[in-house]
Structure 1
């Protein structure tokens, strides 16, 4: 089954359906559901085979496993934005007595706290959460496996700690905080901690025969913040739109952008993958994708967003292994973005212009390197090299004749205008680098001075 909720080209719709059909068939998934959103709107849904005798649709629930971690991370970032904690705070400051109190909130969010990957035996994903009533039962001896902050080491218990941190700060359960602070504001009515019909059942497919075995669907208890949630392709597309743009009812655009920024060095051999604050980051086919994959016995999930293209995709299956849902979700993004690239916004002139700012535009020189300075909306500036490679950055206005770098090498650095005694512009100072109107202009404050003989020829 497939449906088009907003116009996509027939060839694009067929390519999307073909991709999930191949994934379901080759991955031997009892069912497969997927959806694509573009610029915040659901534009395509598709599914293969059936759930309880009916074709699944974008509102059929599947368990999403570790995609849950991104929801937990948003709750923690809300605490930071409200001033209730700092990401560099030690866990002990807000949640004492865990045995892992020296690690920071940021390290837990980015899986760089050095904690163990899993809870102690028995296999926590297939046993009731009641078997681990205390945080010590979740952590076991899995603390201090690596120096904190030095490397990425994925940790399910780490997100258990973050869920307990949310509960301690809010005075309510993780489930209640999630409902009030994320699910209701974003309209995610089909995202729940327990399955609600219609939902898929989880299955294990025999590796050597086309037969199946039902998987248990356990309540994970304290481990819930690491992987408890059930959701739908439609709800996850709504969540993906939030991850791309933010929503002031939940988390602003700047904080969501912070989540999407790499937090620790990539592992050796994994230069195309990284992790932010509760979000996986992937470089795929020339695109930057952010999102998360998820798995629990009986279920697989994948969610990816290309912020630059305005396209996100979700893929869900009810099988313990087989279909590569994260790969499929990435491929769905590529299919739409390649076949129907984003149409740029029309160029429009600025509604008004500050003549003094306009006078700053044009060529500037750092030594003999040529840069161009461009005026953009709201008094912002863009600096880029005019020849070859080099450092380029965008800047936002920050007071009188002062700007703060937003990206690239100069992110966070201050650009300011330096004037002569007569009020004319001498140069631009950018983190102590001097940009002049002419290369090595003698009248300006060029570090080291300028040879009084000036420019000269040279005979070899």
Structure 2
């Protein structure tokens, strides 16, 4: 990036490392699917041993997003439905009525932590041992009632993957996510070079090593280690550069807000395995991670394709999410991505007769033809209900976003085969306002439009 941009980014990283008293901090900016800039402050391991873009840090709950991607692959393969009750795939629990979607979005109502010793600092047992502790009392809320972050829920999803794949969750993540995305350094336990995790004393500049272990059945909630190079590829994946791992539409579905975090201002939410944050005027998607001795974050703005990764080997003290959000905003402010050049694109000639002005009642809308047979319907004044539509069959499209997401748009033709009106979820759009020749709901007054109040 430009020297002025790099200096500004470096100063932000250096300030966070110093103010947060992190033994080490690594951060990078992601663009076009690659780590375009990175910086490191502090040391790891021996005296003067500085971290680099392939130094491993624990990424904690970012693990959940990779597990969620495997679950969505199972859905896309038809092996499960997100509305399936857990009992269908993992029978015998006391919370079998919760759905796969509830577990993915932290709306299952399950307890946040596994009963017993805190799993993040204690070696974990197997699924049978975990399941035996999850009685009715561990269901804290009605499923779907509210966002309640549940590490236990992702332990459960790990078991679901085990049963549907016939292998452990880690093997599934490696085979289906890490290897195809060439995230070759990401692992479940530390390998050289890696940072050592520390707690920093709140009132003195001294360190206490934090433990590291296998979390057992809770591992899908936060076991993995990764580095800036690998997490940059995952960040691009979340932004839509999905390769052959998932269809971009599925990842876009993961980024949709399934629930708002109602514990504070409405600036955060959760999708299907992804955290959502509103920061610096941007809608970001990704995930934070924390384990004893470590903090990590990956966030991307899908609108610009700019993302950031951040790592620290400290239990607390570093604003890991705000740092990532600031790096994204600064990169876009200092070096805004240019829009793609406009070029003529082939459009089905049959769509041209559909384009132009339509009216919902007295409100004017414009219908535009897009490549690949898509349509775009938007208010002529700019504000209001707008959606894009993908073709289903002859004269039928399905809404992709906005108010009409999932709804069907149908072109109804007259006896001569010309477009007469549009039927969209019972809304009738006509070429002229309240066209009396169309089946406008409620009919049109026979007197027509009046020049004065009648």
| Alignment TM class, shorter chain as reference | over 0.9
Offset of 1:70 from its aligned partner?
Answer: 0.5
**CA displacement, residues 151-188 of structure 1 (integer Å, 9 cap, x when unaligned):** 11000111000001111111212221121111111111
Gaps of 5+ in 2: none
The 5 A counterparts of 1:55-94 are: 55-94=50-89
Q: Secondary structure at the match of 2:428?
A: strand
Q: Which residue of 2 aligns with 1:327?
A: 322
Distance 1:131 1:212 in 2: 32
Matched with 2:393 is 399
**CA separation of 1:418/1:130 partners in 2, compared to 1, >3 Å: closer, same or farther?**
closer
Deviates most, 25-34 or 416-425: 416-425
* Residues 1:40 and 2:5 aligned together: no
Alpha-carbon distance change, 279 to 174 in structure 1, aligned in 2, over 3 angstroms: same
Match of 2:277 among 278, 282, 307: 282
Contact 2:127–2:159 (Cα < 8 Å) also in 1: no
* 1:421 aligns to 2:434 (yes or no): no
Deviations 1:22-55 (A, max 9, x none): 1100000000001111021210010001112321
1:430 aligns with 2:424: yes
Residue of structure 2 aligned with 1:22, choices 15, 19, 26: 15
CA RMSD of aligned residues (A): 1.6
Inter-partner Cα distance in structure 2 for 1:355 and 1:277: 39
* Secondary structure, counterpart of 1:181 in structure 2: helix
User: Contact 2:400/2:406 (CA < 8 Å) preserved in 1?
Assistant: yes
What is the distance in 2 between the residues matched to 1:401 and 1:173? 46
Is the alpha carbon distance of 1:142 and 1:418 closer, same or farther for their aligned partners in structure 2, counting shifts above 3 Å?
same
The answer as to 2:135 corresponding to 1:148 is: no
The answer on whether the counterparts of 1:98 and 1:135 sit within 8 Å (CA) in structure 2 is no
Which of 93-102 and 358-367 deviates more?
93-102
**How many pairs align?**
452
How does the TM-score come out when normalised to structure 1? 0.95
If the length of structure 2 is used for normalisation, what is the TM-score?
0.96
**Residue equivalent to 1:370:** 364
Secondary structure at the counterpart of residue 163 of structure 1: helix
On the 8 A contact 2:33/2:241 being kept in 1, the answer is no
Q: Distance in 1 between matches of 2:363 and 2:127?
A: 62
Provide, for residues 254-284 of structure 1, a one-character-per-residue CA deviation record: whole Å limited to 9, x for no partner.
1111111111244153311110011001111
**Is 2:181 the partner of 1:163?**
no
Task: Identify the range of structure 1 (437-446 vs 299-308) with the bigger mean alpha-carbon deviation.
Answer: 437-446
Aligned partners of 1:139 and 1:157 also within 8 Å: no
Distance in structure 1 (CA, Å) of the matches to 2:242 and 2:21: 38
Q: Given the alignment, which residue of 354, 377, 382 partners 1:360?
A: 354
Relative distance call for 1:240 and 1:448 in structure 2 (3 A) is same
Separation of aligned partners in 2, 1:71 and 1:99:
26
- C-alpha distance in 2 between matches for 1:250 and 1:131: 28
Instruction: Return closer, same or farther for 1:78/1:434 CA change in 2, 3 Å cut-off.
Output: same
| Counterparts of 1:204 and 1:265, CA distance in 2 | 31
User: CA offset at residue 421 of structure 1?
Assistant: 1.8
- The separation in 1 between residues aligned to 2:405 and 2:295, in whole angstroms, is 37
Secondary structure of the residue aligned to 1:65 is coil
Whether the aligned pair in 1 keeps the contact of 2:95 and 2:136 (CA below 8 Å) is no
Counterparts of 1:183 and 1:226 in 2: how far apart (Å)?
A: 17
Over 6 Å off, 4+ runs = none
Does structure 2 retain, via aligned residues, the 8 Å contact 1:65–1:300? yes
Partner residue in 2 for 1:4? none
Tell me the distance in 2 between the aligned counterparts of 1:278 and 1:323: 23
Select which of 216, 219, 243 maps to 2:214.
219
Q: 1:378 to 1:438 in 2, by over 3 A?
A: same
Distance (whole Å) between structure 2 residues aligned to residue 140 and residue 391 of structure 1? 46
Say whether residues 1:49 and 2:42 are aligned partners: yes
Q: Structure 1 residues 380-389 or 62-71, which shifts more?
A: 380-389
Alpha-carbon distance in 2 for matches of 1:269, 1:82 = 37
* 1:374-406 superposed Cα distances (whole Å, 9 cap, x missing partner): 111112111111125210011111211111111
5 Å-filtered alignment, 1:441-452, equals 441-452=435-446
Give me the whole-angstrom Cα distance separating, in 2, the residues matched to 1:367 and 1:451. 13
The residue aligned with 1:390 is 384
SS at 1:129 equivalent = coil
Tell me by how many angstroms 1:137 deviates. Answer: 5.0
Match of 1:186 in 2: 181
Q: Secondary structure at the match of 1:241?
A: helix
Secondary structure of the residue that 1:228 maps to in structure 2? coil
Deviation for aligned residue 1:451: 2.2
**Is residue 339 of structure 2 the alignment partner of residue 344 of structure 1?**
yes
2:6 counterpart of 1:13? yes
What is the CA–CA distance in structure 2 between the aligned matches of 1:300 and 1:324, rounded to whole Å?
9
Aligned match of 1:412: 406
The 3-state SS of whatever aligns with 2:393 is coil
Structure 1 unaligned regions, length at least 5: 1-7
